[in-house]
A and B are shown apart, each in its own frame.
Chain A
């Protein structure tokens, strides 16, 4: 009898312990999470010009070696083939190395044809799609204009930019000067068809894309509202694009129109189109069939080991931490960012999926401020050149992490797909289409709230 009693007492004592073990851990209060960790565990604390250039934590020595190799090749200048080191440049190209356009792994300068130019011009024929719904190349020029060439070879054409300025004055009297670019394609080596489409693009920052690649497709699709069923004026549409590497249609995540689905394809395409360096994914010269073609039987020019190392390098670049997050102005700006519904597209918090190969990128709570979807941005920003599902006025929401550091990494910061905006105010004022309501609310903010919003963006 005594034994039974003690058994019951023991059982009662064990019961709460057992029940507590079964309790699900509670979710963290928002205030308990360090708001500086824009990239979760893949965040780096550096606010200098090198803020975008660091590897994520948690790489083993082999991975660090590959990252380092990719880093040096990202910086390496290519030269004309045949050559012992970095062969394959040209004959026509836009720049000689990755870093020339992605200055300090960030953005670049909105100019064409100079050694530090980060602009390129996409081309295609009007009113026609290829078998996968993608743009169709302009005969003799391809899908991208190469405006630079090796010595003695004609470039495809030159591009000049002319800006027309207009002033916008806020109710408090502060004036912002907006510049509208107009592009002229001149000195083409051959005649261009009468009706072709072109789209200027400035090189975006390359850090953090390992995290973006790891966002579950279901998460991205959950943001989509193609027919604007919730009537908030914002739709959000996924782009589905052809992946020449896998030979399948996939959800586009990268590129200014989300026209690329895989990091390696993005890198391979930049090598072949931007630098003229052929590789296993794009084995033909960008000048294939044109008079500039070098006729060398050396393709692919880029070894797969380098392509893989550079793809690994950009995949494993960390996101810089936010700064001044406790400032009252920054906190107020963050509230306004939500109140005027910038967060409708620039999603503040997303969880990445599980990837056992990269723990720092896996299951991370990140703050990219993008939904990776396409949005109509209005006529002012339209390039009028469709790219798979993206119409001529749709652009992918660009991530905003790191925008507050662009002045450090680039000297002069330039924003938007063509670098026309030089300040956050200018960039916001160019928003139209689905973002018109948010822009309108922005213009109606008090001076103090507008400044707070700028402080918040500066803290990213």
Chain B
């Protein structure tokens, strides 16, 4: 009987100990290794390339809309062109969630998004006999005469209420070339990532196994993370902060279209696309990697991204007005961005360094 009791006791101890064992999180190392590769492949195929493709497609539409406006200067055609400009802006700002690779190395940002507009040169150019063909635009020595913002200036006018009839023939010719130039840049940025062209996507996918740019997977993950940190900082600490601190609406980035707050929000939506692996298809994102090892960190990052994105809804005025009349709301948005940035810097980056060592 005593013997029987001690067997029960031993069994009890055994089960107690095994019951205390932590459940395995994230499966085996093999699973995590596979996931590290899948997330990179999905980032390229579901996030980066589809967004650049989308950007390129909208650039084509904007050019077509401006051509239509030139042919028939109606308010409807002007509204269409303005909407396409805003759509293209949405796409571009979301692509800024991953500013690394060709977009950075080949200066696409200054080629498309130089700010501010150089009004004096723009007036001189329009008043000149320059034919304003695409080749003439490409030969201009300063980028402040090219890209999004001169197009915005012409489509909306200084006060944002320009009529279709008031846009001059030369302005329209200029705008056709500007949108064509933007379209060329968008197409070539897209090409730089795809197979059969620049194929930067392959450099990302083969990080640590043949990539000429990233000798370790950790390097590309850090590049992605730093790009997320960078955009948080640029929005909260730069684009929003400067006009806010200086109380100067002239420093706001998209002043003619009153599109700045939407621009800012789209930057953070772009960051969310990168983290969650969302945009097109249903693949894996960095979220899955983090969740495999640290669910609470993943939840925290997801919650902070979502809080940052929705915090912009509190700014109901144009950013030019909000810096005067909605300072509390702006401060609150900047706080959510700072919180997110700190988490990415102090938790996600160390996570990458700790768990992705190859």
Taken together as a complex, chains A and B put the C-alpha atoms of A412 and B241 apart, in Å, by 33
The reply to whether A411 and B105 form a contact with Cβ atoms under 8 Å apart is yes
Residues in B113-153 with C-beta less than 8 Å from chain A: 114-121, 124-125, 128, 140-145
State how many angstroms separate the Cβ of B186 from the closest Cβ of chain A.
Answer: 17
In the complex, what residues of B have CB within 8 A of residue A329's CB? none
Q: Which residues, 410 to 455 on A, are CB-close (under 8 Å) to B?
A: 410-412
A103 nearest CB neighbor, chain B only: B107
Cβ–Cβ contact B242 & A79, under 8 A? no
Instruction: Tell me how far the C-beta of A318 lies from the nearest C-beta in chain B, rounded to whole angstroms.
Output: 14
Supposing A48-B223, A149-B141, A151-B124 touch, asked if A116 and B107 sit within 8 A by C-beta, the answer is yes
Contact check: which of A46, A71, A77 meets B144 at CB < 8 Å? A77
CA distance A250 to B223 in the complex (A): 41
Minimum CB distance partner of A46 in chain B: B226
Closest CB in chain B relative to A78 CB, distance in Å: 8
> Which residue from B120, B230, B242 sits with its C-beta under 8 Å from A83?
B120
A85 touches B116 (CB 8 A): yes
A80 beta carbon closer than 8 Å to chain B: yes
B100's partner among A49, A81, A152 (CB-CB below 8 A) is: A49
The reply to whether the CB of A84 lies closer than 8 angstroms to some CB of chain B is yes
Task: Verify A68–B238 contact, CB threshold 8 A.
Answer: yes
Nearest CB in chain A: distance from B101 CB, A: 9
Q: Could you give, for residues 220-235 of chain B, a 1 whenever the CB lies within 8 Å of some chain A CB and a 0 otherwise?
A: 0011001100100000
Closest to B237 in A: A68
- Which residues of chain B from 77 to 123 have any CB-CB distance to chain A below 8 Å in the complex? 100, 104-107, 110-111, 114-121
Interface of B is mostly: helix
Distance, CA A152 to CA B122, complexed state (A):
11
Indicate whether A291 reaches chain B with its CB closer than 8 angstroms: no
A280 within 8 A of B: no
The answer to whether A219 has its CB under 8 Å from any CB of chain B is: no
Which residues between 28 and 81 of chain A lie within 8 Å of chain B, taking CB atoms? 46-50, 65, 68-69, 71-72, 77, 79-81
Q: Is the CB of A150 within 8 A of B105?
A: no
Q: How many residues of B contact A (CB 8 A)?
A: 38
How distant is the Cα of A89 from the Cα of B100 in the complex, in angstroms?
29
Q: In the assembled complex, which residues on chain A have CB atoms less than 8 Å from the CB atom of B294?
A: none
The answer to whether B120 and A77 touch across the interface, beta carbons within 8 angstroms, is no
| Minimum CB–CB distance for A449 against chain B, Å | 21
Task: Say whether A151 contacts B125, CB under 8 Å.
Answer: yes
Q: In the complex the two chains form, is A96's CB within 8 Å of B144's CB?
A: yes
Q: Is the CB of A80 within 8 A of B141?
A: no
Chain A residue at smallest Cβ distance from B110? A115
Q: Are B118 and A89 in contact (CB-based, < 8 A)?
A: yes
Q: In the complex, what residues of A have CB within 8 A of residue B250's CB?
A: 84-85
Q: What residues of A have a CB within 8 angstroms of the CB of B64 in the complex?
A: none
A68 partner, pick from B105, B141, B227, B241, beta carbons under 8 A: B241
Which A residues between 90 and 104 are near B, CB-CB below 8 angstroms? Answer: 96, 100, 103-104
Q: Which chain B residue shows the least CB distance to A65?
A: B245
Q: Are B120 and A49 in contact (CB under 8 A)?
A: no
User: Does the CB pair B144–A150 fall under 8 Å?
Assistant: no
Contact yes or no, B238 A71, CB < 8 A: yes
Residues of A within 8 A of B227 (CB): 48
Chain A CB within 8 A of B167 CB: no
Quick check: B121 and A47 within 8 Å, CB to CB? no
A86 at the A/B interface (Cβ < 8 Å)?
Answer: yes
B107 touches A82 (CB 8 A): no
B-chain residues with CB within 8 Å of residue A80 when the two chains form the complex: 118, 120-121
Which of B117, B121, B223, B226 makes the CB contact (< 8 A) with A151?
B121
When distances are taken between beta carbons in the complex, the residues of chain B under 8 Å from A71 are: 238
Q: Does B70 contact A (CB under 8 A)?
A: no
Q: How big is chain A's contact interface, by range?
A: 35 or more
Chain A residues with Cβ under 8 A from B145's Cβ?
151
* A151 to B106 CA separation, bound complex (whole angstroms): 24
Please give the distance in Å from A54's CB to the nearest CB on chain B.
10
Which residues of chain A are within 8 angstroms of B251 by Cβ–Cβ distance? Answer: 85
Q: A68-B241, A86-B116 are in contact. Are A47 and B219 (CB under 8 A)?
A: yes
**Chain A residues, CB < 8 A from B117:** 79
The answer to whether A148 touches B141, judged by C-beta atoms less than 8 angstroms apart, is: yes
Which B residues from 234 to 280 make CB contacts under 8 A with A? Answer: 237-238, 241-242, 245, 250-251
Residue contact B222 to A72, C-beta cutoff 8 Å: no
Q: Scoring A residues 142 to 181 as 1 if CB is less than 8 Å from chain B, else 0, what string do you get?
A: 0000001111100100000000000000000000000000
| Option from A50, A72, A103, A149 in Cβ contact (under 8 Å) with B226 | A50
Q: How far is the CA of A115 from the CA of B219 in the complex (A)?
A: 29
> In the complex the two chains form, is A150's CB within 8 Å of B121's CB?
yes
Q: Contacts A151-B125, A411-B105 hold; do A96 and B142 have CB atoms under 8 A apart?
A: yes
Interchain CB contact under 8 A, A72 and B143: no
- Give chain A nearest CB distance to B220 CB in angstroms: 9
Residues of chain A within 8 A of B140, CB atoms compared:
151
Given A82-B120, A151-B125, A152-B124, residue A50 in contact with residue B114 (CB < 8 A): no
Q: Is the CB of A49 within 8 A of B223?
A: yes
Contact B105 A89 (CB under 8 A): no
Contacting residues, chain B, for A72 (C-beta < 8 A)? 238, 242
Q: Which of B121, B125, B227 gathers most chain A CB within 10 Å?
A: B121
Q: Which residues of B are found within 8 Å of A68, using beta-carbon distances?
A: 237-238, 241
Task: Determine if B144 and A79 form an interchain contact, defined as CB atoms under 8 angstroms apart.
Answer: yes
- B48 vs chain A, min Cβ distance (A): 16
Q: Which residues of chain B are near A148, meaning CB under 8 Å? A: 141-142
Say whether B226 contacts A83, CB under 8 Å: no
Nearest-CB residue, chain A, relative to B239: A72
Within 8 Å CB of B226, what residues of A? 46, 48-50
Complex Cα spacing A411 to B198, Å: 13
Which chain A residues lie closer than 8 Å to B120 at the CB level?
79-83, 150
Closest A residue by C-beta to B111 = A115
Q: Are B105 and A410 in contact (CB under 8 A)?
A: yes
Question: B132: shortest Cβ distance to chain A, in Å?
Answer: 12
Which partner residue on chain B sits nearest A85 by CB separation? B116
> Which A residues lie within 8 Å of B118 (CB)?
79-80, 83, 89
Q: Which residue of A lies closest to B105 (CB)?
A: A411
B242 nearest CB neighbor, chain A only = A72
Q: How far is the CB of B294 from chain A (nearest CB, A)?
A: 20
Give, as a whole number of angstroms, the nearest-CB distance from A303 to chain B: 12
What are the residues of chain B within 8 A of A77 when measuring CB–CB? 110, 114-116, 142-144
* B128, B143, B237: the one within 8 Å of A115 (CB): B143
* Known contacts A151-B142, A412-B105; 7 further A-B pairs (Cβ under 8 A): A46-B222, A48-B222, A83-B116, A83-B118, A83-B119, A115-B107, A151-B140
Contact sample, A vs B, 11 pairs, CB 8 Å cutoff: A46-B226, A47-B219, A49-B104, A49-B226, A68-B238, A69-B242, A80-B118, A86-B116, A96-B142, A104-B104, A115-B110
Q: Kindly list the 10 A-B residue pairs having the minimum CB-CB distance in the complex, ordered from nearest.
A: A411-B105, A79-B118, A48-B226, A80-B120, A48-B223, A84-B250, A85-B116, A151-B121, A116-B107, A148-B141
